[in-house]
Structure 1
Amino acid sequence: MIDATDRAPLVTVGIPVYQGERYLPETLASVMAQDHPAVEILISDNGSGDGTEEICRSAAAGDDRVRYLRYADNRGGTWNYNNLIREARGSLLTITAADDVKLPTFVSSCVAALEAAGSGCVLAMTRTRIIDEHGDVVEDLGDASLTIDEPTPHQRMAHFMRAQAPHLVYGLVRTETFRATRGFRPVVGDDYVMLTELATRGFFTLVPEQSFLQRKHPLAHSADRAGDVTFYRPQGHGRFAFPHTRLDVDLLRACLVAPLPVAGKTRCLAASIRNWIVPQWRGAAGDVRDALGISWKPRRPVR
């Protein structure tokens, strides 16, 4: 087990998984290879019926840093992500999707960045590259300016909304800050809502090295509109779900529940409207069109 006397902070690397047998071994290998001396690997398995359970039990048997939580039913992606926040033992938590890869220095470099930035910093993230189903790099994100360290929450919100950078949610976050939010919300685009809540509580810092590999592939739930809806709400239905409208509403709610004075909440509301809701108006309009049963061309949901 991890030595409790180790002066390095305990970091939980949380992996939410459902039917993840194809890419999970590579994800687990990348997490096990982290060079930080105090890592807990927490897997929350949302009732997978494929080979996921066998992969996870084998990993737990071979590495005492791995804690495997198996649940009989699929309660949805939102529940699974929030379960990691509830169950994490580390003072710092980074969530890793079961098809992504974090290079060996990811955790240690983010820990160092958080410590250097001070207590006002709630999230540290490395730069990101996109890989395909084969693990080949297909895109370098233009994210060299994603140090979201503006002095006010509404400025920070405007920054990541304009940059459309939901991948920041896979950075290293102070666990107590995660727990101070409402958790991940059951809406398509929950990463934007979570980042909004985090940004109202502190600033983000960027590690210049590219240590996060985010996988985009045809089987990802976000590649399919109906699949994205049912990921968050397993009993949901693509039609009448109003995914874009629900996202807009939850972003506004995130501003209203922020631990800010009225003036600060008002500025955050204005930032959400100006930098997200108005530029993304076609999404809400499409929700209405879908509800009315008007023919539409498939649109890639916001992620």
Structure 2
Amino acid sequence: MPDTAPRVSLGVPLYNAERYLEGCLDALLAQDHPDFEIVVSDNASTDRTWRICRAYAARDDRIRLYRNPRNLGGHVNYTKVVELARGELFKWVAYDDICLPGFVSACVAALDAAGPRAVLAYPRTLLIDGSGEPIGPYPDRLGCADPRPWRRVAQVARYLSLCHAHFGVFRIATLRRTRLIRPFLSSDYSFVAEVAALGEIHEVPQQLFLRRLHVASTRQSPTGTLADAVSWFAPEGRRVLAPRLRMLAETLRTLATADVDPATRLSCALAFAATWGTRRVRVHTGRWRRQLTGRPTSAPFGGGGR
């Protein structure tokens, strides 16, 4: 392992990831950015995941390995790779997604060009299926360089859905000011709103992120359930009541206590509440109209961090 800290840390939290892990690691090692490390934290996988990790680490000293003694839940593992990271910049990596070779360098360039006011950069997304076949582009529309934090938070509340932005590249100093991913459904919504309160989010115009939707996804699988998603956060399982309301309450609590001045906290919390409330009214109104006309209803609420 090199003695000097890299510019970018790529954090890979894993659990039973053997199906897509080699493709994920190959894509990371093919990044054209010259200065990065790969930090792997395995949540006591029971399949070939750890064997694959050790084989890759033996071939490339940019890969650092850590293994939890037992499955501590996905949110703990996401925190672990942030704790282990040595880079100035940081990116989470899901084992089933693919980062095209220019992903890291394009996001780093966007952050460098914008300066310290920008805290997150992410590229545009192409959705793929379990076999890697394209499903179609996904417009995240979360980029917002407005100097007013409440405007940025409102942008997040207006468009946040599949939450690809949290797989972008962060300034790690800002990332560590947040509460990261927490043990409730769609905590990535709360997290991205908190990031928007702290600084600008920039969207890179190139389509460099391949997001895989497949039957083993915690929330996007057509056969997935709330219980499946909860087990990602807490392996022992827990009851789920009113996930939308829980997410809203947690997001408002997060914004009201964010690491910013009191006036910014208040304006961001009010902006999220107002924009999210308007969005939900529009969703319900559209659903009622479709029911009256006999058209199919839209997909259910989703988007928890994996």
Give the structure-1-normalised TM-score: 0.88
Counterpart of 1:233 in structure 2 is: 234
Tell me which amino acid in the other structure corresponds to 1:110. Answer: C
* 1:252 lines up with 2:252 in the alignment: yes
CA contact (8 A) 1:185 1:193 kept: no
Distance in 1, matches of 2:263 and 2:272, equals 14
CA contact (8 A) 2:156 2:196 kept: no
Deviations 1:18-37 (A, max 9, x none): 11110111111100111111
Distance in 2, matches of 1:279 and 1:112, equals 33
Unaligned 5+ segments in structure 1 are: 284-297
Measure how far apart 1:278 and its partner are.
Answer: 5.6
Counterparts of residues 176-255 of structure 1 (less than 5 Å): 176-222=173-219, 223=221, 224=224, 225-237=226-238, 239-255=239-255
Tell me which amino acid in the other structure corresponds to 1:218. Answer: V
* 1:72 lines up with 2:78 in the alignment: no
* 1:30 lines up with 2:31 in the alignment: no
Counterpart of 2:269 in structure 1 is: 269
Aligned with residue 52 of structure 1, among 42, 49, 54: 49
Tell me which amino acid in the other structure corresponds to 1:81. Answer: Y
Runs of 4+ in 1 over 3 A off after TM superposition: 1-5, 239-242, 277-283, 298-303
* 1:133 lines up with 2:130 in the alignment: yes
Counterpart of 1:148 in structure 2 is: 144
After superposition, the Cα gap between the structure-2 partners of 1:148 and 1:120, relative to the gap in structure 1 and judged at 3 Å, is same
Tell me which amino acid in the other structure corresponds to 1:70. Answer: R
After superposition, the Cα gap between the structure-2 partners of 1:234 and 1:243, relative to the gap in structure 1 and judged at 3 Å, is farther
Distance in 1, matches of 2:277 and 2:15, equals 31
Look up the SS of the partner of 2:235 in the other structure.
coil
Measure how far apart 1:276 and its partner are.
Answer: 2.1
Counterpart of 1:286 in structure 2 is: none
* 1:157 lines up with 2:160 in the alignment: no
Distance in 2, matches of 1:102 and 1:74, equals 26
Distance in 1, matches of 2:68 and 2:259, equals 34
Distance in 2, matches of 1:45 and 1:280, equals 37
CA contact (8 A) 1:228 1:301 kept: no
CA contact (8 A) 1:248 1:277 kept: no
Distance in 2, matches of 1:156 and 1:63, equals 39
CA contact (8 A) 1:130 1:216 kept: yes
Q: C-alpha root-mean-square deviation of aligned residues, in Å?
A: 2.0
Distance in 2, matches of 1:300 and 1:274, equals 19
Counterpart of 1:288 in structure 2 is: none
After superposition, the Cα gap between the structure-2 partners of 1:22 and 1:300, relative to the gap in structure 1 and judged at 3 Å, is farther
After superposition, the Cα gap between the structure-2 partners of 1:240 and 1:205, relative to the gap in structure 1 and judged at 3 Å, is closer
Distance in 2, matches of 1:302 and 1:112, equals 28
Aligned with residue 95 of structure 1, among 92, 95, 98: 92
Deviations 1:42-93 (A, max 9, x none): 1110110011011111110111100111112110010010111111111100
Measure how far apart 1:245 and its partner are.
Answer: 2.6
- Count residues in correspondence: 284
Tell me which amino acid in the other structure corresponds to 1:234. Answer: P
Counterparts of residues 101-116 of structure 1 (less than 5 Å): 101-116=98-113
Distance in 2, matches of 1:302 and 1:126, equals 18
Tell me which amino acid in the other structure corresponds to 2:97. Answer: D
After superposition, the Cα gap between the structure-2 partners of 1:202 and 1:83, relative to the gap in structure 1 and judged at 3 Å, is same
